[in-house]
Chains A and B, each alone.
Chain A
Amino acid sequence: MPRSYKELREVIENKDRGLREKVMSLTEAIHLIQDGDHVAAGGCHYSRTPMAAIWELIRQKKKDLVYSRSISSTEGDLLLVAEATKHVITSWFSPGVTWGVSRAMRHYIQEKLAIYEEWSHMSLGLRYRAGAMGIPFIPTRVMLGSDLFPRLPELKEMECPYTGEKLALVPALNPNVAILHTQRCDPYGNVQSEGLPFMDQDIAGASDKVIITTERIISNDQVRRSPDRTSIPFFQVDAVVEVPYGCLPHECYGYYEPDFSHMDYYVKLMMGKGPEGVKEYLDQYVYAPESWTDYLEMLKFGDILRATTDGRSVYND
């Protein structure tokens, strides 16, 4: 199940990890993704989703991707219906608790048009962690005894030679490309995330290549003035793109909450018309706009203003 351990190391050893500027356009950055790649998205559910990166990779018509994420939300629907991916690895997949199960996802999975490879949230985190640590597996007690265990037939067990306990061996997960959104990043790729870290650090360490979209590019000097805020070091990063509001309609901690009005609109469309509704959405909001800014202009400023005000309020008493 995991990729060749030696190959994983070679990829890292051979790539240019040096302290050099990596700022580029969204289009250029997404060119780093190839058809068939395993792309892992950071954030979780509708929080700090690398939405601009996903939007762009759909526009560039990437195909046959394996898509992994800790928890998937509406972006998962878009990837399935655009046929960018036929294989989703995640622990939970739904627009959100208040909106019900995704009709689009159900269609693709139940009609066997795509695979939903389900892992427990923690075990998926452990998979990325093992990948980041540079080990091929990590032992755990999670999932032992559950039905998930036999449905992932490749999952192995072992007996701890020190204590005799039975452990499940969670295999490492090493994506080809990580797409991560953050609040602050410098031109070299030193990422300083604010708020919830999710699994971004481990996904960055585990992946062959890392694309960072950031609300704001800050200077390297600013990073050096507060080095303990750096969550991902430059030598793991390959591309840095400044994309303000790069998560909309999802949220970005401290900057903006979700645009719930737009989410409601999307969910109504998707639940009402299923995949056809999502195709309409893709045509209007993903393929039609010429740039991410053009897409943002299609959202209602009043809604974004509300989202921003609410998002900033997390810093109030």
Chain B
Amino acid sequence: MDYRKARQEIVEKNKGIRDKRTTLEEAVSMINDKDHVAVGGLQYTRTPMGVLWEIIRQKKQDITFYKPLMSFEGDWLFVSGAMGKAVTSWFSGGVTWGVSKIMRTFAERDPSTFEEWSLLGLSLRFKAGAMGIPCIPTKTMLGSDLEKIRGLKRFTCPYSGEEMLLIPAVNPDVAIIHSQIADKYGNAQIFGPPCLDIETAKAASKVILTTEQIVDNEHIRDAPNSTNIPFFCVDAVVELPFGCYPHECYGRYEPAYEKLGEYGQGLLKAEDKIGFVQEYLDKYFYQPADFPEYLDLFGVRSLVEATRRGRIWPL
């Protein structure tokens, strides 16, 4: 991770107020094979699923994905070849669906594909990256085997004498984030838990923002306190309703639990697990002509139910 290069990229890029609306396809064309891509949301909340879907469709390969709590999308990214390495603190479908067998297949065959950090440890990497410093001290991970395998350096605080671990910053090439609201300049308003998206947006060299709804800049100016990601961090804006599906978007729709359960159960029962995921990829990722056709596969009933259960008024 080259701090100076990362900083230079921010310095040189066009950060101005301009209309950044584009298509999913164009936005994802900014991502290259082998890039370091940070994924917003956590587990199955506010995942930028549309972007991941497009990344897989564009057959990107060998990307290092950072997602501090990883769910089934990890399976799809591994099997499609899009993900060469998962940097995360936790990788499993979800507590009720058991350990991800796909994760196990990849990580047991080649342990370097699952780079484990503690949740706070990985979060601090983004915090440091966002602050523009190369490292940040903490007590977390100290003494554990995670400290050892990550090769973290210790440091004795010269003021307090306390033994600290230094967590190295991360500045990903791209951050992909989904918000409920944004304007065309990229001012994003995330409602509910922001997870790590704010730090991630600041740490990354480029940010692709998908949003449930593009609103007028005046609406943003009406409530500036609600803006968590300012326009100058964002490079592309895509209006993508249900852009997290089948994961949830706080205040808009819940996860499609039944659909995720179908996948989870199906994977559990399948003898050829990789084959099962490849079929899933064919049906949901490669076949549909566009994102709405992908949503069609879940069906209107599923979307309506998830919306009915998940929407919050007033947001």
Contact = CB atoms under 8 A, between A and B. Distances in A.
A138 B136 contact: yes
Contacts of B226: 228
A111 interface: no
Contacts of B162: 5, 136
A167 interface: yes
B225 A195 contact: yes
A300 interface: no
A141 to B, nearest CB: 7
A126 to B, nearest CB: 9
B137 A228 contact: no
A140 interface: yes
Interface stretch (A32-40, A42-50, A154-162): A154-162
A163 B158 CA distance: 20
Interface in B109-156: 132-139, 153, 155
Contacts of A95: none
A162 B160 contact: no
Contacts of B191: 228
Contact of A136 (B136, B160, B166, B218): B160
Given A165-B134, A171-B159, A136 B192 contact: no
Interface string B67-85: 0000000000000000000
Interface string A155-197: 0101011110101010110000000000000000000001100
A140 B137 contact: no
B159 A169 contact: yes
Given A228-B191, A228-B192, A162 B135 contact: yes
B220 interface: no
A137 B164 CA distance: 10
A152 interface: no
A113 interface: no
Which of B137, B138, B192, B226 gathers the greatest number of chain A CB atoms within 10 Å? B137
A4 B136 CA distance: 20
A24 interface: no
A97 interface: no
Contacts of A140: 133
Interface string A184-226: 0000000000110000000000000000000000000000010
B291 to A, nearest CB: 27
A140 B162 CA distance: 19
A137 B166 contact: no
A84 B172 CA distance: 49
A141 B155 contact: no
Interface of B: 3, 132-139, 153, 155, 157-160, 162, 164, 166, 168, 191-194, 218, 222, 225-226, 314
3 smallest beta-carbon distances between A and B, as pairs? A136-B160, A161-B153, A156-B158
